[in-house]
Amino acid sequence: MLRKIWSLAELVIIDGLRRHALMGLVLLAFGLEAGGLLFFDFIPRDIGRASADFILSIGWLTGFLFLLFHAVQVMAWNEGRRTVHTLLARPISRTQYVLGTFLGLATLLILLNGILGLLGYGILSLIQNSVKLGGYFPQLSLVHYLLSWTGLFCIELMILAVILLFSGLVRGGFPVLLLTVSYYLICTGLPVVRNAFIAKPGNDTLHIDSTLQWLTAIFPDFSRFDFKALVTSEPSGIFLQHFSTDLLLMVLYLTGILWAASIVYQHRDLQ
């Protein structure tokens, strides 16, 4: 079973690596990250934090563009051009198709994050060495830097799994793109709504807070995986414990969403 899933993932990876648009996206992100070397001189203080924020935001933006304009399209093209018929004519189940496609796209995301992360670390090191006053860039923690990219990757994986689910539920790339953007906006907006609700006294009688909390099981709080602010601080053991709990929840979430996507694909007619 794993051989079949990996064979399909390989096709997705090779197809993605040969796409000129993706090469262009990587080059654009390269250029933007390298641009950090030019602009940090204009930051009056806290250069370390601003630069790390900048590098990771570019990483996030690139990953998001990859998800919306490659991952969504891969699924839509497979159905629209009936490539899925060519693939499923082999002894490969629809669950294996979902998992193979997910694995292939996730591997491309790892490659993308790896390349941009490596370049970003080099740029941050250069900036740190260029800053004369140590207080403006006191620390560049490799552990926290890697953790920040892992956090980004976790968010991207959750969105990717949801894209596969939406692609099974609705036909066409554009509706899936709209649903994905809506999902992302709800995920980012829900914690803000919860905080606003908790801040008002006497609101807990309507059980709205617990409803909002349960909604995070469907629309996860992505800010729990946002560690940009830690890149320039000391490593902390307590924090890592929280992260491992979130990681476990993320794995459960991915399993649930991919299981749902497989069920949807198994029970529907292909286009």
Partner 1 sequence: MITFENVWKKYSKELFRPAPAALQEVSFSLQQGQTLGLIGANGAGKSTSIRLLMDFIRPDKGAIRLFGLPASNLSQRNQIGYLPETASFPANLTVLDLLRFTGATCGLPAKTSKERGEQLLRELGLWEARSKRLSTYSKGMQQRANFVLALLNDPQLLILDEPMSGLDPLGRGQIIGLIQRLKQEGKTILFCSHILGDVDRLVDQLLVLHKGRTLFNGAPATLLAAENASNIETAFLSLINHHLSEHYAA
Minimum distance of partner 1 from residue 209's CB (angstroms): 40
Rounded to 5 degrees, φ, ψ at 231 are -55, -35
Q: Residue 29 CB, nearest distance to partner 1 (Å)?
A: 20
Q: Does 139 bind partner 1 (CB under 8 A)?
A: no
What amino acid occupies position 67? L
Q: Which is nearer to partner 1, 80 or 256 (CB)?
A: 80
Stretch that binds partner 1, among 89-97, 127-135, 244-252, 257-265 (CB under 8 A): 89-97
Site string for partner 1, 231-270 (x = CB under 8 A): --------------------------------------xx
Cα within 13 Å of Cα(230), Cβ side: 21
- What's the min distance (Å) between Cβ of 103 and partner 1? 14
Pick the piece of the chain touching partner 1 (CB under 8 A) from 11-19, 51-59, 159-167, 182-190. Answer: 11-19
Task: Pick left, alpha or beta for residue 72 (phi over 0 → left; psi -120 to 50 → alpha; otherwise beta).
Answer: alpha
Site for partner 1 in 170-229 (CB under 8 A): none
Interface with partner 1 includes 7 (CB under 8 A)?
A: yes
Q: Which of 32, 61, 88, 126 binds partner 1 (CB under 8 A)?
A: 88
Which residues 68-87 are close enough to bind partner 1 by CB under 8 A? 77-78, 81-83, 85-87
The token duo for 26 is 């990587």
Long-range contacts made by residues 224-228, C-beta under 8 angstroms, separation at least 24? 225/151, 225/152, 225/154, 225/155, 225/250, 226/151, 226/155, 227/144, 227/147, 227/148, 227/151, 228/52, 228/53, 228/56, 228/57, 228/148
Nearer to partner 1, 81 or 207 (CB): 81
Contacts 24+ apart (CB under 8 A), 246-254: 246/154, 247/154, 249/220, 250/154, 250/157, 250/158, 250/220, 250/225, 253/158, 253/161, 253/217, 253/220, 254/157, 254/158, 254/161
Residue from the set 23, 27, 57, 90 that interacts with partner 1 by CB under 8 A? 90
| Interface stretch with partner 1, choices 5-13, 127-135, 190-198, 204-212 (CB under 8 A) | 5-13
Among 15, 46, 221, 226, binds partner 1 (CB under 8 A): 15
Q: x/- contact string, 19-38, with partner 1 (CB under 8 A)?
A: x-------------------
Of 117, 171, 115, the C-alpha closest to 145 is 117
As measured in angstroms, the least distance from the Cβ of 69 to partner 1 is 15
Q: What is the DSSP string of 146-214?
A: HHHHHHHHHHHHHHHHHHHHHHHHS-SHHHHHHHHHHHHHHHHHHHHHHHHHHHSTT-GGGTHHHHHHH
State the nearest-atom distance from the C-beta of 172 to partner 1, in Å: 15
Give residues in contact with partner 1 (CB under 8 A): 3-4, 7-8, 10-12, 14-15, 18-19, 77-78, 81-83, 85-93, 269-270
